[in-house]
Amino acid sequence: MPFGMVIGALLCRQIVAVDSWSCGMLTPVLIFAMLFFTYCRVDITKMRITMMHFWLFAAQIVGAMALYTLCEPLDQTIAQGAMICALAPIAMAAVVIGGMLGANIENMTTYSLLCNIGTAFVAPFILSWVGNGECTLTQILTKVAPLLVAPFVAGQLCRFALPKVALWVADHSRISFYIWLVSLVVVVGRTTAFVIDHSATDLVTEIALAAVAAVICVAQFALGRKIGAKYGDRVAGGQSLGQKNTVLAVWMAQSFLNPISCVAPTAYIVWQNIVNSYQIYRKK
């Protein structure tokens, strides 16, 4: 994963060119394929909403508002960056990494669906409070719902209509990890190019945003693991609160906040994948 991030940063111009050639469909196609492989393993009859899901979502929303309130007197841009790192919902790839680490994937899939849709309803109010006031529910839902719901529906239809195909896909679900690595290279490349082209602030602010993102990343993984431990799934809790949908976070920062605040979720991509690399190393 660190190697993939380095490649993405070094080849950012080439990646942007390929993404432009694909009309921006490169990342959505990779995410759909990755989640399809994972969701073919999910037994919908085992999906349950639990109190762990409630506490994780509460920590996400309350944490976002608290971070902005605490940081805003110091610097509004840093406050926006900190807030968006907490407000971002669980990453769509978190189920993939959670499954590799031994988490209950039905538990994580349930939270992934609830959290991303729930964030789409809550985020417009928070972003209107701290940003330019132009964010709407429809804008976020159009970014979240297709990439979240479509592969889930496709995976479940495959389980019922083509069980042998679904079994083969489930047996080879590790492929989703490598698809995710490719999408990580693309995401890092795109965000690196954006930061280079739109860096209109001083280096101190950029460093502060990256440092704040590192602290928030570690804190969210730790808090999520504590919440998960109380409900018998420490790994699911940590991944659910710590691994963020940074693609959505960067887009929200660029669209509705001070664009330079996207340095924080961009840096978060690096920090969360360093944590993931370490966890997978320890697991193996």
Going by pLDDT thresholds of 50, 70 and 90, the confidence category of residue 196 is: confident
Q: Is the pLDDT of residue 198 over 70?
A: no
Q: What is the pLDDT of residues 11-70, one digit of tens each?
A: 989 988 988 888 878 878 888 888 787 778 777 788 888 999 999 999 999 999 999 999
- Which H helix or E strand runs over 26? helix 26-39
Q: What average pLDDT score do residues 124-129 get?
A: 84
Phi-psi region of 102 (alpha: psi -120 to 50; beta: other; left: phi over 0): left
Q: What backbone phi and psi angles, to 5 degrees, belong to 244?
A: -105, 155
Q: Please provide the average confidence, as pLDDT, over all residues in the chain.
A: 85
Domains and CATH numbers, the chain: 2-283 (1.20.1530.20)
pLDDT of residue 247: 79
Residue 85 CA to residue 90 CA, distance in Å, equals 11
Torsion of CA 121, 260, 204, 276, to 10 degrees: 50
Token digits of residue 191: 């965000």
How many whole angstroms separate alpha carbon 121 and alpha carbon 140? 8
Would you state the torsion angle of the CA atoms of residues 4, 5, 9, 11, taken in this order, to the nearest 10 degrees?
10
Are the CB atoms for 237 and 94 separated by under 8 Å? Answer: no
Query: Which long-range contacts link 245-249 to residues 24+ away (Cβ below 8 Å)?
Result: 245/88, 245/89, 245/90, 245/91, 245/92, 245/116, 245/144, 246/88, 246/91, 246/187, 246/272, 247/27, 247/187, 248/88, 248/89, 248/140, 248/143, 248/144, 249/84, 249/85, 249/87, 249/88
| Per-residue pLDDT, 200 | 59
Neighbours of 172 (CB within 10 A): 11
Q: What is the pLDDT of residue 133?
A: 65
Distance CA 187, CA 91 (A): 13
Percentage of the chain exceeding pLDDT 70: 97
Q: What is the mean pLDDT of residues 80-106?
A: 87
Q: Give the mean pLDDT of 212-220.
A: 96
In sequence order, the 6+-apart residues with CB closer than 8 A to the CB of 188 are 4, 5, 8, 9, 12, 269, 270
Residue 226: count of CB within 10 angstroms of its CB: 15
Phi, psi of 129 (to 5 degrees): -75, -40
Measured CA to CA, the distance from residue 244 to residue 246 in angstroms comes to 5
Gap between the Cα atoms of 279 and 237, Å rounded: 14
With bands split at pLDDT 50, 70 and 90, how would you rate the model's confidence at 155?
Answer: confident
Cα(65)–Cα(87) distance, rounded to whole angstroms?
8
Which phi and psi angles does 90 have, rounded to 5°? Answer: -55, 140
Task: Write down the pLDDT at residue 212.
Answer: 95
Q: Is the pTM of this model over 0.85?
A: no
